[in-house]
Chain A
Amino acid sequence: MNRWLDRLITLLLAALIGWGGWSTLHWLIHGADWSVVTTNLPLYAVGSFPADQRWRPLVWMVGLVLLTVLTLLGPKRIGWRGALPLLWIAMAPIGLWLLVGGLGLLPVGTRDWGGLTLTLLLTAGSGMLALPLGVLLALGRRSALPVLRWSSTAYIELMRAVPLIAVLFFGQLLIPLFLPPGLEINRVLRAVVAFALFAAAYIAEDVRGGLQAIPPTQREAAEVLGLSPLQSLQLVVLPQALRIALPSLTNQAVGLLQNTSLMALLGLVELLGISRSLLANPAFIGRYLEVYLWLAAVYWLCCTAMALLARHLEVQLDPVRSNR
């Protein structure tokens, strides 16, 4: 009887998948009009960056793609692999320089940033701010000093209680209120700061999980060896804790990339924002399905690439493997 049930389920599912596949195929051939995607590719990639300067964000993104491919598929056991981490770290200042301009390049205002470039930049910028802040908060929450412990815990718990969209929205409204009059920071930077303040609370909890997994004997051993508390933290405890926290940090990073789409609700023209303005254009009215499928594919690719890179890093850092 069980076998018959199994066959019935298979048959039903096959029928369902066949029907879904057939109607998708039918729509792709007869219904879909991809002009909303094909004619606007530059907009999706770089937003309204000046046309003669578009090569700058494009060079940066091509660099990122090349580096990803090299890291994941490049030949193993070759000396230059040691340079890869440095190259990855260098991509941030290079990207900023290419986008902002100066030092021989024409300056471009943040108003003209958009598309995938802005999405990647928001992710990278807020991630780089959030990681050190999160580590500090995690250390603070585990500190022996009550004042430090209470204030870190309060910050983490409050931030984790509110929805991200509220933090972003009030970040735009409130950050100017708390700054001295006359000092203004622009919208993109405000978004990055609010985003980082939010993400840091979640990163702190992941790092704390890693710190809790380190047995106290490690710290004691470091003390016996004559390491100062700071040295023991920096050389013994943190490297191990971060490695343990890496899988959950990866999830945070993928979440960070996905959540940059919320900036569209605040009027930033990152990937989703630019699509919203395209869909409001009478020439492309009603082309929701094409645009959303295209966006889903782009986001899916970026997130999957990030997850694969993080998995690669995990394997690289695995102590069993590197001791061999």
Chain B
Amino acid sequence: MRKRRVLVQLALAALLVGFAALLVNNLTVNLIRTGLGLGFGWLGRPAGFALAETALPYAPSDSYLWALTIGWLNSLKVIVAGLALATLLGVGAGAARSSGNRLLRSLAGGYVALIRQVPLLLQLLFWYFVAFLGFPETPVGGLIKLSNQGIAVLGLNLSVEFCAVLVGLTVFTGASIAEIVRGGINAVPRGQWEAFRSLGLGEGLGLRRIVLPQALPAILPALTSQYLNLAKNSTLAIAVGYADLYAVSDTTITQTGRAIEGFLLLLASFLLLNLLISGGMAAVNGAVLGRLRRSR
């Protein structure tokens, strides 16, 4: 039996290696035909294209590597802002779904039912072309200035593309987070609500101090996967022309023809991003569980 298992595995390994060899062989033949070869030397050459939005100084004469770094920073910017806003919106909408106010409850329910059944890409195009570009120049109270040039909030200048991606990701992910939060809140025994009410605590305070902390262990793992989804979905920014990592990679590959190297770089960048998010969430999860254990 043991011998058979080893044999099966050897055969399987041979099969996998053979398949990989076949692919690599085809690849080399094709690469020789196109005369490209593999290598990362091109990363040091000047990129030659301009970027609309740069967190650090960048000029077209800078290298491809620097252009990709700028793209990565742009991605990081929209992802971090999106994570924060989507969490706020999701927790708010999720809590609203178990609120005592019927109108508020059904409004939150309608939001979730509508947003989750419409593709994100369509929503992004809507926010960009209809909501932001279609908006007339209207200063709202002097605090927020909307125009088709960009949006100024309290002295902070944001591009239209950034805002469209941010709002689109926030609204879309917020609906999923709302469902997770609602599930977590429902998992907390009803007795806990009755207990804080009979102690005279208000609904909002009770929700924040009694119910949500107990709902967190059920919420956090699902929240992590939503965060990872948001990071991956941020690549749809290319549809509205926001210069994120994927958009810059796309331009780079089109210019240099380095599809395989470009894919490997993108893969590495996303592995790093995922590691940052899941690492951070694991730390939060550990802290929450530890605090819960101590308080019991």
Interface residues of A (CB under 8 A from B): 2, 6, 9-10, 13-14, 17, 144-148, 151, 158, 161-166, 169-170, 173-174, 176-181, 254, 258-259, 261-262, 264-265, 272, 288-289, 292, 295-296, 299-300, 303-304, 307
The residues of B that contact A177 with a CB separation of less than 8 Å are 26-27, 30-31, 259-260
> With A10-B101, A258-B120, A272-B121 known to touch, is A181 a contact of B232 (CB < 8 Å)?
no
Scan residues 107-122 of chain B and give those whose CB is less than 8 A from a CB of chain A.
Answer: 107, 114, 117-122
* Interface size range on B against A: 35 or more
Indicate if the CB atoms of A304 and B117 lie closer than 8 Å.
yes
A17 to B102, CA, bound (A): 14
> With A173-B253, A177-B26, A289-B130 known to touch, is A166 a contact of B103 (CB < 8 Å)?
no
**What are 13 of the A-B contact pairs (CB < 8 Å)?**
A13-B104, A144-B5, A146-B9, A162-B270, A163-B270, A165-B238, A165-B246, A173-B253, A177-B30, A178-B30, A180-B29, A258-B120, A304-B117
Closest chain-A Cβ to B112's Cβ sits at a distance in Å of 13
Interface centre among B29, B31, B125 (most CB of A within 10 A): B125
Interface residues of B (CB under 8 A from A): 5, 8-9, 12-13, 16, 23, 26-27, 29-31, 33, 100-101, 103-104, 107, 114, 117-122, 125-126, 129-130, 134, 202-203, 232-236, 238-239, 246, 249-250, 253, 259-260, 263, 266-267, 270-271, 274
A261 to B233, CA, bound (A): 13
Indicate if the CB atoms of B263 and A163 lie closer than 8 Å.
no
A10 to B100, CA, bound (A): 11
Determine the residue in chain A with the shortest Cβ distance to B235.
Answer: A163
A34 to B162, CA, bound (A): 30
Among B117, B121, B234, the residue within 8 A (CB) of A264 is B121
Closest chain-A Cβ to B107's Cβ sits at a distance in Å of 6
> With A158-B267, A181-B29 known to touch, is A173 a contact of B259 (CB < 8 Å)?
yes
Determine the residue in chain A with the shortest Cβ distance to B249.
Answer: A166
> With A2-B203, A161-B271, A170-B259 known to touch, is A296 a contact of B122 (CB < 8 Å)?
yes
Among A9, A163, A264, A295, the residue within 8 A (CB) of B232 is A163
Indicate if the CB atoms of B29 and A288 lie closer than 8 Å.
no
Among B33, B122, B250, the residue within 8 A (CB) of A299 is B122
Indicate if the CB atoms of B9 and A148 lie closer than 8 Å.
yes
Indicate if the CB atoms of A165 and B103 lie closer than 8 Å.
no
Indicate if the CB atoms of A163 and B246 lie closer than 8 Å.
yes
The residues of A that contact B119 with a CB separation of less than 8 Å are 258-259, 261, 272, 299
The residues of B that contact A179 with a CB separation of less than 8 Å are 26
The residues of B that contact A264 with a CB separation of less than 8 Å are 121
A6 to B30, CA, bound (A): 69
Closest chain-A Cβ to B188's Cβ sits at a distance in Å of 21
Closest chain-A Cβ to B148's Cβ sits at a distance in Å of 13
Indicate if the CB atoms of B117 and A162 lie closer than 8 Å.
no
Closest chain-A Cβ to B164's Cβ sits at a distance in Å of 12
Indicate if the CB atoms of B5 and A13 lie closer than 8 Å.
no
A61 to B263, CA, bound (A): 37
A170 to B13, CA, bound (A): 26
Indicate if the CB atoms of B26 and A258 lie closer than 8 Å.
no
A272 to B249, CA, bound (A): 24
Closest chain-A Cβ to B91's Cβ sits at a distance in Å of 17
A143 to B199, CA, bound (A): 53
A153 to B277, CA, bound (A): 20
The residues of A that contact B263 with a CB separation of less than 8 Å are 166, 170, 174
A292 to B133, CA, bound (A): 14
Indicate if the CB atoms of B246 and A166 lie closer than 8 Å.
yes
Among A146, A148, A165, A258, the residue within 8 A (CB) of B118 is A258
The residues of B that contact A145 with a CB separation of less than 8 Å are 5, 8-9, 12
Indicate if the CB atoms of B107 and A13 lie closer than 8 Å.
yes
Indicate if the CB atoms of A6 and B100 lie closer than 8 Å.
yes
Indicate if the CB atoms of A300 and B118 lie closer than 8 Å.
yes
Indicate if the CB atoms of B117 and A174 lie closer than 8 Å.
no
The residues of B that contact A292 with a CB separation of less than 8 Å are 122, 125-126, 129-130
Closest chain-A Cβ to B108's Cβ sits at a distance in Å of 10
A158 to B26, CA, bound (A): 22
Closest chain-A Cβ to B130's Cβ sits at a distance in Å of 5
Determine the residue in chain A with the shortest Cβ distance to B133.
Answer: A288
Closest chain-A Cβ to B134's Cβ sits at a distance in Å of 7
> With A162-B267, A265-B238 known to touch, is A2 a contact of B274 (CB < 8 Å)?
no
Determine the residue in chain B with the shortest Cβ distance to A173.
Answer: B259
Among B13, B253, B259, B267, the residue within 8 A (CB) of A147 is B13
The residues of A that contact B104 with a CB separation of less than 8 Å are 9-10, 13
Indicate if the CB atoms of A13 and B202 lie closer than 8 Å.
no
Interface centre among B26, B118, B246, B259 (most CB of A within 10 A): B118
Closest chain-B Cβ to A278's Cβ sits at a distance in Å of 13
The residues of A that contact B33 with a CB separation of less than 8 Å are 181
> With A6-B100, A162-B266 known to touch, is A289 a contact of B134 (CB < 8 Å)?
yes
The residues of A that contact B202 with a CB separation of less than 8 Å are 2
Determine the residue in chain B with the shortest Cβ distance to A295.
Answer: B122
Among A147, A164, A295, the residue within 8 A (CB) of B12 is A147
Indicate if the CB atoms of A163 and B233 lie closer than 8 Å.
yes
A148 to B117, CA, bound (A): 37
Closest chain-B Cβ to A169's Cβ sits at a distance in Å of 7
Indicate if the CB atoms of A300 and B266 lie closer than 8 Å.
no
